[in-house]
Structure 1
Amino acid sequence: MPTSIRTLAALALTAVLAHQPATAQELDRLVVHKSPTCGCCGKWIDHIEENGFAVTPVDVADLGQVKREHDIWPAYRSCHTAVGEQTGYIFEGHVPARIVARFLADPPADAKGLTVPAMPVGSPGMEVGDRFMPYEVLLLQKDGVTRVYARIDSPEQQY
């Protein structure tokens, strides 16, 4: 193949690859606001990083203030708040990495983020042996309305 054709082929391939969609993990770094003494927050961070996400943990003394700043109502709160560094999307509590990735790949209109209220036993970071409590991942909308985004009925559905 002549050099000019190889050069054109390389340029065409570069242009095609440059327009490939990014994976969800490449879309945003998560800044995780947490208590410095909370072990389950650290375990959730391990889970999210093991699934390809970049994380910046931030220990804070007043998590309530972080939640108020992001308008997370008390009924939807958990032990840590992750915020997309670029998108501003919120991931409150023990949201499974695969659900975060699905959300980032195609965020619903008017979405503010996702939450797993409280701390369900068996959710990522809340593992206790083989115990598991089914739970829902809720979509937080900008207008304050929530709806079920995903139901997690078994440990396998999280991964």
Structure 2
Amino acid sequence: MFGLPLVAVAGPALAAPPKRMIAYKTPWCGCCGGWIAHMRQAGWNVEVVEREDLAPIRARHGIPDRLASCHTAVVGAYAIEGHVPSSDVERLLGERPAARALSAPGMPAGSPGMEAAGREPYATVLILNDGSTRVFGRHNGA
């Protein structure tokens, strides 16, 4: 008895969804450009929107002033505040925690875009939906 021949059918490859984000920054901040370059080098398509006041954007995404930085990005349902490494953004999107934002508060020396300022230990902080926080990542020996 003869079997039917196996035929390979080529279909469209399942591509990963595009990595897109919008980054809101002030027109005068240079280190934000360094962070945007870091994200682009990691494969992100970053749309840049300049605003003179980022407080309304941070407020819309539930980022308290104590966790603010110099720019805010939005990717999917999450805000990314400040100089968060691309590896933490990738982890956030992979784990999908019940959270509103991920922040690198202030402008830590040695974070992406802040390399010229030296190097200091810092943590990224996850801002949960209820407003509480927890450390998400530790960097530069933190």
Give the shorter-chain TM-score range.
Answer: 0.7 to 0.9
Specify the alignment match of 1:142 in structure 2.
129
Shift of 1:5: 3.6
TM-score of the two chains, using structure 2 as the length reference: 0.88
In structure 1, how many angstroms separate the alpha carbons of the residues matched to 2:99 and 2:54? 22
Tell whether the 8 Å contact from 2:110 to 2:140 is kept in structure 1 after alignment.
no
- Which residue of structure 1 aligns with residue 96 of structure 2? 107
The alignment covers a number of residue pairs equal to 138
Structure 1 vs Structure 2 CA RMSD: 2.0
Structure having the higher helix fraction is: 1
CA distance in 2, matches of 1:88, 1:28: 13
Aligned partners of 2:84, 2:61: CA distance in 1, in Å? 17
In the TM superposition, structure 1's runs of 4+ consecutive aligned residues that sit over 2 Å from their partners are: none
Report 1:8-157 matches (<5 A): 9-11=8-10, 14=11, 17-18=13-14, 22=16, 26=17, 28-84=19-75, 87-108=76-97, 110-128=98-116, 131-154=118-141
Judge conservation of contact 2:63–2:101 (CA < 8 Å) in 1: no
Q: Deviations over 1:37-58 (max 9, x none)?
A: 1000011000000000110000
Give the TM-score taking structure 1 as reference length: 0.79
Contact 2:27-2:50 within 8 A present in 1 as well = yes
Residue 88 of structure 1 and its aligned partner are, at CA, apart by: 2.3
Q: Residue 120 of structure 1 aligns to which amino acid in structure 2?
A: P
- Structure 2 segments unaligned to the other structure (5+ residues): none
Unaligned runs of 5+ in 1: none
Task: Find the aligned partners of 1:116 and 1:97 in 2 and give their Cα distance.
Answer: 12
- How far apart are the structure 2 equivalents of 1:99 and 1:136? 11
Residue pair 1:32, 1:58 contacting (<8 A) in 2 also = yes
Give 1 or 2: higher strand fraction: 2
